[in-house]
């Protein structure tokens, strides 16, 4: 049995999508969902899915071992970042080498790095008049959006696209591919 923890900062739609996908893979389970925001909707989703969840603050994440202890207590084998916006501390990267997976809403190395998340990415893609965008699923290292790329998927853009329509196209790719790539990576 492989156990994963999902870290999310907001809505949690990717976390829920992964949870539903894992219904067909009983050898993998989400043991806990963690968020850096106490009021994030991901906690409601976790409750509805009957998955334990908890919140943490900056001090717990960066200046203590509290989050690492929770991961160990839950026998976590792999961490999945599903809309999680903070840089992962070195202690977690060392504890989970090549076992932290992130999804980024653009085709890295373009539109990555600090401050490049969510609508900021889609606005930048739109402003640059890109003809395509997509998603990148990658391993996490000590730099934002810099780890080994596991998978990319593209979607074409046209002159009528807006940042909102770009976001919709990217979300569709996330929902289609993220759970599958997580399972494939954990199955190797």
The CA–CA distances, whole Å, from 66 to 6, 14, 52, 63 equal 16, 25, 16, 9
Place of tokens 């990658």: 138
Hey, is 122 helix, strand or coil? helix
3-state SS record for 13-37: HHHHHHHHHHHHCCCEEEEEEEECC
- Provide the annotated active-site residues: 104
Q: Could you give the CA distance from residue 51 to residue 44 in angstroms, rounded to a whole number?
A: 10
Neighbour tally for 18: CB within 10 Å: 23
Q: Where are the beta strands (DSSP E) in 1-119?
A: 2-8, 28-35, 53-55, 78-81, 100-104
Q: Could you tell me if 14 and 4 are in contact, meaning their C-beta atoms sit under 8 angstroms apart?
A: no
């Amino acid at each position: 049995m492989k156990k994963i923890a999902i870290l999310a900062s907001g809505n949690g739609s990717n976390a829920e999508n992964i949870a539903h996908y894992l219904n067909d893979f009983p050898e993998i389970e989400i043991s806990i969902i963690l968020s850096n925001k106490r009021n994030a909707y991901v906690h409601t989703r976790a409750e509805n899915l009957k998955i334990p969840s908890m919140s943490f603050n900056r001090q717990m994440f960066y200046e203590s071992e509290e989050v690492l202890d929770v991961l160990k207590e839950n026998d976590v084998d792999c961490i999945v970042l599903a809309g999680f916006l903070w840089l992962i501390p070195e202690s977690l990267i060392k504890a989970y080498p090549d076992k932290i997976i992130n999804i980024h809403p653009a085709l890295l190395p373009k539109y990555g790095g600090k401050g490049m998340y969510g609508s900021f990415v889609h606005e930048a893609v739109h402003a640059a008049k890109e003809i395509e965008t997509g998603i990148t699923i990658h391993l996490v290292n000590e730099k934002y959006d810099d780890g080994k790329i596991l998978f990319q998927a593209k979607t074409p853009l046209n002159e009528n696209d807006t940042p909102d329509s770009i976001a919709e196209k990217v979300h569709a790719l996330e929902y289609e591919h993220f759970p599958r790539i997580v399972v494939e990576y954990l199955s190797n």
